[in-house]
Chains A and B, each alone.
Chain A
Amino acid sequence: MSTNQPKLLRVLTVSSHPNRPNALSAVLTFTWRSLKKTVSQLPYMAIDVLIFPVIFLLIFTFMFGGAISGSTGNYLQFLLPGMLVYTVTTMTVYIGISIKTDIDRGVFNRFRTLPFWQPAAIIGTMLVNLLSYAAALATTIAFGLLLGFRPEAGLTGALLALLLVIMYAFSVSWIFACIGVVAKKTESITSMTYIVLYPLMFTSNVFTDTSTMPDWLGPIIAYNPISLASTAARGLMHGTATAQDLITALAGMALFILVFAPLTFRLYRQKAKQ
């Protein structure tokens, strides 16, 4: 390397000491970072936001449709709102993985020595993930419409349902953010998907009406957060939501955020301070 001594001296003589960034600009900086990375991973993202939603919607509609609801058309009306919840639920794992990846990489050591509000790293990344959730949801709805799905509450209903599902995804993301901070290995985050998410998903009312399930499963299904979100989304979509449906769903989300967001921040800062 042929360092240019005078140039070097000039650059190193600057003695600007900016004030520490405020929390908002730190969050926005991480949003920017996350967007930059997303752009370079667009092909992989496309699989998640375009291909998976389409495949699963096709599989579930045509495999279970006849058996569960007698016709695929009826079933789609029932299934689609739940599929929205299903789609984003599987995607929430990524926030855990990206946090864990950051912690394991050398760059975390640099973040730790910089004077910004540390949780910004998590929130900024999460905000960009919300965009990909929205993209996946849009795909699911668009493809559903193509297959004949019709939201009975019209556009307003569909948008409200969409909003609710994004809020749900945001709340569940905190659980995985927390897991991402404490996990010893990245693989253990992925295996949480199989141990926790899939059982919850299949004991929910995403795919079938729970009235046909055995009694002892009833409470588990009723308080399953995935069921709560599906019921509320379905209700909004078709204009049949009761106040109680919405309140329980929102309360569940609030609970997740109130418990896991502060916990994640605390654990992350501890990790950063060690």
Chain B
Amino acid sequence: MTKNNFAVETRGLRKSFGSVEVLKGIDLQVERGTVYAILGPNGAGKTTLVNILSTLIRPDSGTAQVFGLDVVHDADKVRGMVGLTGQFAAVDEELSGRDNLVLFGRLTGYGRKAAYARADELLDAFDLTDAAYRHAGKYSGGMRRRLDIAAAMLVMPDLLFLDEPTTGLDPRSRNGVWDIVRTLVDRGTTVLLTTQYLEEADQLADRLAVIDGGTVIAEGTAAELKASVGSGTVHIRLTKPEQRALAEQVLQRELDAAAVRLHAEPASLSAQVSDPELAARLLTELSREGIETVQFSLGQPSLDEVFLALTGRPAEEEKEENVS
């Protein structure tokens, strides 16, 4: 067992189902104590990757280590350190929420009393006390997701896998899950999550990898990825709305006829810029023409734009793709 700084390290990970090659050589390094997001459209292989890392399925070739332990050869030890909340809730629908936690608690090794105590405090912290005695099969999606995360928290894992933890949740529930992730990271757990929401990766992740078609097509911090795409948006609000036509001309001239967007609000306009230095020159040009601005800001591209630039497709459209 080699000591290293990585919670997860994979090399050339491959996996096929029949003739379908799902992972075509994945190399990843996740540092301890960080949140790492795997981003990708439907069918990209996110769940397959998470299942390999959490020892549920075996890779065809390549290696994967969790805290320096091989997920195939040291599967039992790895299981002792990781928690998994899969894409589809792994709870017993015919038992109440409380009984679910007691069941899993007992199977984790808690004594009877300790299992009930742990179940009750988890129910309380995850806001499930009112539904404690209802069958988990009757829970709403958000409640089931919380129960599933709570089940992964019976003993604190050193590494937690969350496979699309907020898909199908309303914004409030999503925020709740984000709180949980942040709390976990504060106390030192490493979190590896998959998501289709770029905002989620942006909000939570220290680093992220975009996978598409079974390979990593981009890796880095959200800022790095955005910078690598190399374009941002400049937002301008004018003091005098009547100067907007003039401002538009200046923008078009300076930015080589890049698309300038006129907003519904009469004093606002925005445009894509490929180079931050251009934006600085723009500001000078505007004041030289006597155009006063209330607001002049340079925004980074959104991850949506990044995704589009990387895959040639917008992130949202992918959702319809996986019908076959």
A residues bordering B, Cβ < 8 Å? Answer: 1-5, 7-21, 25-26, 29, 32-33, 36-37, 40, 105-116, 273-274
Q: How far is the CB of B10 from chain A (nearest CB, A)?
A: 18
Nearest chain B residue, comparing its CB with the CB of A274: B57
- Beyond A9-B183, A14-B156, A110-B84, list 17 extra A-B contacts (CB 8 Å): A2-B176, A3-B126, A9-B187, A16-B155, A18-B111, A20-B109, A21-B108, A29-B107, A33-B92, A33-B99, A33-B103, A36-B95, A106-B89, A110-B90, A110-B91, A110-B151, A114-B79
Specify which chain B residues have a CB less than 8 angstroms from the CB of A107 in the assembled complex. 90-93
| Shortest distance from the beta carbon of B99 to any chain A beta carbon, whole Å | 6
User: A-side binding surface: helix, strand, loop or mixed?
Assistant: helix
Given contacts A16-B155, A40-B94, contact A5 B79 (CB under 8 A): no
Q: How far is the CA of A45 from the CA of B155 in the complex (A)?
A: 36
Among residues of A, the one whose C-beta sits closest to the C-beta of B156 is A15
Q: Taking CB as reference atom, which chain A residue is nearest B75? A: A273
Is B76 part of the contact surface with A, judged by Cβ < 8 Å? yes
Evaluate contact between B183 and A113: CB separation under 8 angstroms.
no
Task: Report whether B108 and A18 are in contact in the complex, using a CB–CB cutoff of 8 Å.
Answer: yes
Q: Does B180 reach chain A (CB closer than 8 Å)?
A: yes
Contact A29 to B90, CB < 8 A, known contacts A110-B151, A115-B79: no
Please give the distance in Å from B106's CB to the nearest CB on chain A: 4
- Contact of A18 (CB < 8 Å), options: B84, B110, B127, B175: B110
With A1-B176, A113-B84 as given contacts, are A19 and B142 in contact (CB-CB < 8 Å)?
A: no
Q: Indicate which residue in A8, A15, A105, A111 contacts B125 across the interface (CB closer than 8 Å).
A: A8
Partner of B58, one of A3, A16, A17, A274: A274
Q: Is B153 an interface residue (CB 8 A)?
A: yes
Residues of B77-97 at the interface with A, using a CB-CB cut-off of 8 Å, are 79-80, 82-84, 86, 88-95
**Set of chain B residues within 8 Å of A114, measured between Cβ atoms:** 79, 104, 107-108
In the assembled complex, how far is the CB of residue A163 from the closest CB belonging to chain B, in whole angstroms?
31
Query: What does the 1/0 interface line of B178-195 toward A look like (CB < 8 Å)?
Result: 011001101100000000
* Chain A residues with CB under 8 A of B103: 29, 32-33
Q: Does B46 contact A (CB under 8 A)?
A: no
Do the beta carbons of A18 and B155 come within 8 Å of each other?
yes
Give the residues in chain B near A110, CB-CB below 8 Å: 84, 90-91, 104, 151
Name the contact of B106 in the complex, choosing from A7, A12, A29, A108 (C-beta under 8 A).
A29
Complex partner residue of A4 from B57, B125, B153, CB under 8 angstroms? B125
Min CB distance B50 to A, Å, is 11
Q: B residues near A, CB below 8 A?
A: 54-58, 75-76, 79-80, 82-84, 86, 88-95, 99, 103-104, 106-111, 114, 118, 121-122, 124-127, 135, 142, 146, 151, 153, 155-156, 172-173, 175-177, 179-180, 183-184, 186-187
> A8–B180 contact, CB under 8 A?
yes
The one of B58, B109, B153 that contacts A12, using a Cβ cutoff of 8 Å: B153
**B173: A residues at CB distance < 8 A:** 1
Are A115 and B106 neighbours in the complex by a CB distance under 8 Å? no
Instruction: Tell me the bound Cα distance from A108 to B127 in angstroms.
Output: 25
What residues of chain B lie closer than 8 Å to A115, measured between beta carbons? 76, 79-80, 107-109
List 28 A–B pairs whose Cβ atoms lie within 8 Å, in order of A's numbering: A1-B176, A1-B177, A2-B172, A3-B126, A3-B127, A5-B179, A5-B183, A8-B183, A11-B153, A12-B156, A14-B156, A18-B110, A19-B109, A36-B99, A40-B135, A105-B93, A107-B91, A109-B86, A110-B84, A113-B54, A113-B56, A113-B82, A113-B83, A114-B107, A115-B76, A115-B107, A273-B55, A273-B75
Q: A residues within 8 A CB of B187?
A: 9, 12-13
A152 to B209, CA, bound (A): 77
Residues of B within 8 A of A3 (CB): 125-127, 176, 179-180
CA distance A29 to B94 in the complex (A): 15
User: What separation, in Å, do the CA atoms of A116 and B54 have in the docked complex?
Assistant: 16
Give min CB distance, B137 to chain A, whole Å: 10
Question: Within the complex, what minimum Cβ distance (angstroms) separates A212 from chain B?
Answer: 48
